[in-house]
Amino acid sequence: MASMTISKSTRGMFTVINVATVLTGIVAMAEPVFAAVDHYDVQVDGLACPFCAYGLEKKLKKLPGAANVRIELNTGWASFDVSSGVLLPEPVQAAVRDAGFTPRDIRVIASGTIETDGDELRLNVGSEHTLRLHGGQAFGKLRALVKKGHRDVVVSGLIRRMDEAWQLTVSEAKQREAR
């Protein structure tokens, strides 16, 4: 059996590689946590039969991260959870249209860290998008949470496109539980 000798410079290189690998892992873990839309409820016009519901269900299941898709034929609501990634309302609306229906109201449950800019409250959704939070029956509760220093929250409400941003009318707000 042959023995292998490793030079000092090679050992030093392995040490540098190991340290770099550990630091890369630490930096990756320290990335900021962005908000995510965790659940969608979409009011859909035109659902008339089980075949319609099945076609819509197939389209929604193709959305990235969509899970637990449910179609309520009697009420005209489609709902699903988002299990991973960032899913903005545009692709959800597009999937409903691609299935041959008209999307109406969209209610969401979103979680993340609140940012403030003067009086404005926002949730970051991905690196380039934010949800503006405003009005609604729980907006005062949300402001009180932020004022007390509780910035990790779960909010729900109706979401609409206003100008160039998505705006969520806060109907419920609570502190997000530690993970």
Name the residue ranges covered by the structural domains of the chain: 36-175
φ/ψ of residue 62, rounded to 5: -80, -15
The residue length of the chain stands at 179
What sign results for the dihedral spanned by CA atoms 14, 19, 21, 24?
A: negative
CATH of 36-175, one of 3.40.50.720, 3.40.50.300, 1.10.3720.10, 3.30.70.100: 3.30.70.100
Q: Which residues in 124-136 are b (16+ Cβ under 10 Å) and which e?
A: bbeeebbbbbbeb
Strand bridging mode 129-134 / 165-175: parallel
pLDDT digit string (tens) for the chain, length 179 residues:
444 454 555 444 434 334 333 333 333 333 334 458 899 999 999 999 999 999 999 999 999 999 999 999 999 999 999 998 788 899 999 999 999 999 999 999 998 888 888 888 998 766 667 789 988 889 999 999 999 998 889 999 999 988 888 899 999 999 988 76
Model pTM? 0.76
